Amino acid sequence: MTQTLTIRRPDDWHLHLRDGDMLKTVAHYTARQFARAIVMPNLTPPVSTVEAANAYRQRILDALPQGTDFTPLMVCYLTDSIDPAEIERGYTSGAFAACKLYPAHATTNSAHGVTDIRKMTGVLETMQRIGMPLLIHGEVTDRHVDIFDREAVFIETILTPLVADYPDLKIVLEHITTSEAVDFVNAAGPNIAATITPQHIIINRNAIFDGGIRPHAYCLPVAKREQHRLAVRAAAVSGSPKFFLGTDSAPHAIGRKETACGCAGIFNAPYALESYAQVFEDEGVLDRLEGFASLHGPRFYGLPLNEGMVTLERVDTPVPDSLGEGALALVPFHAGETLRWRLAEKA
Ligand code: NCD
Ligand code: ZN
């Protein structure tokens, strides 16, 4: 049995780092595992200008111990009123790596999101022309649409026409949860890819109601039926360059999860790589983990591969019930379980 696995240093292509004290609490977990991360811009107010992105990048770097080798890749949050010239300036200067489309009110801090993507012609034409990726939270927000159908309905009613109108636009359909999303991405051109979280290949929707309501298994898009988990899992381990690692680690303090109206988000950053490794091993394709975690993402973004390597060791790794203290205490994904892999400390 394989006892160690050495792969090129991975990146996280979808991450929430928050701000202030929470940022200081969580950033090191990601920097320990990943060389770069696409940092979601859903702060209040959202990160929608070059100036805001540069300031946020600096706060992230300041939140990490001196000498940490970690590169935050910043994202511009699209709003109805955003200026295409600001987006182009941000992308060409390296301030923005991508733009993020949150349909208004789809999830945490998305009140400023886009109300009608069809109004965004100037932005989309600019992005298509300069090759800038559009990262999409692919759910409709219509309250009449069943929450378990919102991704599939988005693909049919919004994404399919969008791709027809902008056939060369680079799109990442984020945190996919359904067989419809897998089929869509597989059938699309090489300019369309998807990120996959650990939770959506490990739990199905039963986990949210397992003997009682389980707020720490609740995220958006919400976990779906078993058949969808299996389809997304098969895509993740398939070796296709269209699918790559994006944790969607989304920390919320325990009190904001365990309450009458708990926030959506699973905090998986501390053991993300171990969690994915277990899935790839269970599927008998540990040799494909490197592609998913370290190669497909940079190739899609047109960025260099990371230089360094990391090693996973086969060691039983108990996951604590909680991490951090007081108002900043968090429950990690896999709390109370024992994982089979551990990321070795750097020599
Ligand atoms: C994210 C958050 O908390 O910011 N929550 C989540 O469940 N994934 C928002 C998001 O990415 O949808
Ligand atoms: Zn997210």
Give the Å distance between the CA of 1 and the centre of ligand 1: 37
Residue 202 within a domain: yes
Give the Å distance between the CA of 1 and the centre of ligand 2: 35
Residue 219 within a domain: yes
Annotated active-site positions, please? 248
Give the residue, out of 19, 26, 47, 107, with the most ligand 1 atoms within 8 A of its beta carbon, to mutate for a pocket test: 107
Residue 337 within a domain: no
The number of the ligand nearest the C-alpha atom of 38 reads 2
Model confidence pLDDT, tens digit, residues 166-201: 999 999 999 999 999 999 999 999 999 999 999 999
Name the domain count of the chain. Answer: 1
Give the residue, out of 203, 248, 330, with the most ligand 1 atoms within 8 A of its beta carbon, to mutate for a pocket test: 248
For residue 16, the ligand 1 atom closest to its alpha carbon is 4
SS (H, E, C) the chain: CCCEEEEECCCEEEECCCCHHHHHHHHHHHHHHCCEEEECCCCCCCCCCHHHHHHHHHHHHHHCCCCCCCEEEEEEECCCCCCHHHHHHHHHHCCCCEEEECECCCCCCCCCCECCHHHCHHHHHHHHHHCCCEEECCCCCCCCCCHHHHHHHHHHHHHHHHHHHCCCCCEEECCCCCHHHHHHHHHCCCCEEEEECCHHHHCCHHHHHCCCCCHHHCCCCCCCCHHHHHHHHHHHCCCCCCEEECCCECCCCHHHHCCCCCCCCEECHHHHHHHHHHHHHHCCCHHHHHHHHHHHHHHHHCCCCCCCEEEEEEEEEECCCCECCHHHCECECCCCCEEEEEECCCC
Residue 280 within a domain: yes
Residue 42 Cβ contacting ligand 1 at under 6 Å = yes
Residue 320 within a domain: no
Which residues of the chain are under the pLDDT cut of 70? 106-108, 347
pLDDT of residue 147: 98
Domain housing 123: 12-308
Residue 322 within a domain: no
Residue 325 within a domain: no
Residue 219 Cβ contacting ligand 1 at under 6 Å = yes
HSE (side-chain half, CA atoms, 13 Å) at 339: 26
pLDDT of residue 118: 76
pLDDT of residue 24: 98
Residue 78 within a domain: yes
Give the Å distance between the CA of 113 and the centre of ligand 1: 13
Cα–Cα dist 277/341, whole Å = 7
pLDDT of residue 101: 95
Q: At 262, which CATH number?
A: 3.20.20.140
For residue 109, the ligand 1 atom closest to its alpha carbon is 4
Quick check: 171 and 133 in contact, CB under 8 A?
yes
